[in-house]
Structure 1
Amino acid sequence: MHSVKYCDTYANIEDRATVNDGDKRREKQVKQLGENHGKRAVAMYCLLVVATTAGFAAIFIISFEFQAIWRREYVRLENKFTDLEKEFRQLKEKNYNESGKAVSTVQQLNDSKSNYERPTLYYYASTLTWQSSKTFCESFDRTLCTFDQICPLNNAGRRYIDDVIPGDHWTPVLEGHNDWVEIGDYHVFPCLLHRPPQWGTLPTWGVSSASAPHKGYVYCCKVSAATERVAPPIRYQYIGKAATYNMSAQHCEQQGRKLCYSSDVCKASKPVLGLVKGDKWIAVRDRHNEWIEIGDHAGNTCKTHGIVHGLPSWGERTDGSLLDHVGYVYCCRSSAGR
């Protein structure tokens, strides 16, 4: 009796132990499963962090490389522009050859091919003068444009015919010797004449071949009744009392011209540009250091100095002395005659 009861009791204890062991195993499995899920979650989080960091790093590197490429390209283009601008500014004044035809260094800047009547804009040289600009246009059988052609008048006032050029830029006009008009935006608006009453006086740089950043542009127009009506009379140029034969020749060469022959200066024993009062001599191309009288002194008008007095020593002086009877210059095209 006692033996049976004891066995039953032992069996119950064993069953409970088995149940407890199963619970523990399930608990351990659940715990292990939780730990595995936790590790997977941590791993996935770390992977996400790594991927995100790598993505940002890649974006940063690509952005940095793009900026570096852009910066290099910007510097390259800026240097190229600077070189082009420097080359543009260094064009020499003698921009056409002995035949009077324009050479390739002169650049046409606006499109007037379809309309010959329209003013044509060129960049000629930063060393140009009013006279050399006029000579340049004449080499195309054209002439300088008038103020009205560059800045026509309408109901709203004067309006520049092309896009305004950034900066301070002046171009010569035909109205008068050394007349210039603003075609840049430096003075707020273009179409400003560089003479009283609009702007100061006639510019000294307009008759100087020294390079200046505010000159270089030239408008050439078809010769017409409008240009002939306002064209200033042809006159002698004056370079001062220190003039010598070589100085006179160089002055003409700066305009792409030559000294005239005596036969161009005088026709029928009269100066073609008019008689000057007093004793006045100008250099001519007949031979080196030859001069011709254009004044009314002592009955020598239109006589060469070589015939009357012999070649003058003062024509080749080097002491810089000032003489009242020199200073006028008359320049002709390369070929004989104007």
Structure 2
Amino acid sequence: MSFQITVQPSGRSFAAESSETLLAAGIRQGIGLPYGCKDGACGSCKCKKISGTVTHGPHQEKALSAAEEAQGLILTCCATAQSDVVLESKQVTEEGGLPVKKMPVRVASLEKKSHDVVVLKLQLPANDPMKFRAGQYIEFILRDNSRRSYSMANAPHTLEVSPPMVELHIRHMPGGKFTDPVFSTMKEKDILRAEGPYGSFYLREDSDKPMILLASGTGFAPIKALIEHMQHKGITRPATLYWGGRRPSDLYMADWIEAQLKAMPNLKYVPVISNAEAEDQWTGRTGFVHQAVLEDHPDLSGFQVYACGAPIVVESAQRDYVAKGGLPNEEFFADAFTSEADKAKA
């Protein structure tokens, strides 16, 4: 059975079968619903149900609490319609989502950037390259049909160079079904199956607010794509990148950032290290990266924040920036790098 889903205030509407989640139906029909993990773990797809009835599948309490559900909030990635539904989501605009496609991709290069990070470049099909927004991600479809998601670290305009390629930053998770092969047996010219683009993390270009770009670990990947896009488009809004790691070696593309600073006067960079050792001879900022932002900007009411990385960093940032810094909740855009272990808790 099919039901009509309407999203306010944009007025966009789409059909959803009772057997599919609202998010899956929206993606299939090019509706730009906000989302991240698609597995009930991150809460990025949370929105208000104005009317109608839905049934929720399994999800984590931190993504949607019982109290929030009682207030009419839902997770579109876990909710299936049982009637026509009206939702409220200010992130949905007239600009629809880009088409999602399955494609073979070829490993073009693997470059080790640190002891546990590889930059993986993939060649896309030249005849019909994927269209995406800077900050979005792709999914690898593994042999057992399980999936692994990775953000693209380059901006869309880079596909104009032949052959079209995307760049991913892969952190080794020992025992990982995908990352173990990346760090051991994967080689150039290997063919992988991928699908994308996915995600609602991208630069909102209709704003002139100054930006905080917050990254932890390989959460830098989609932030790098945003910076490339800003430079290409000539976007001169003030932006400050806060990149956090345990050790200085975790900031594996610091040289790239230094080069960007010379080319982009509007960009500032604050590296933050949480567990420096004496041998690191680190003299820069220390502590938790999300807290460094509040130390420098106690009033965030006039900012936009783009945050990527470990869920604990993203969740802490959103909570503290809204509660302590006065950041409007709708000006916090995030992509939490939810691991398979995180998803398993749902």
TM-score class, shorter: under 0.3
Scaled by the length of structure 1, the TM-score of the pair is: 0.25
Question: When you count helix as a share of all residues, which structure comes out higher?
Answer: 1
> TM-score, length-normalised on structure 2?
0.25
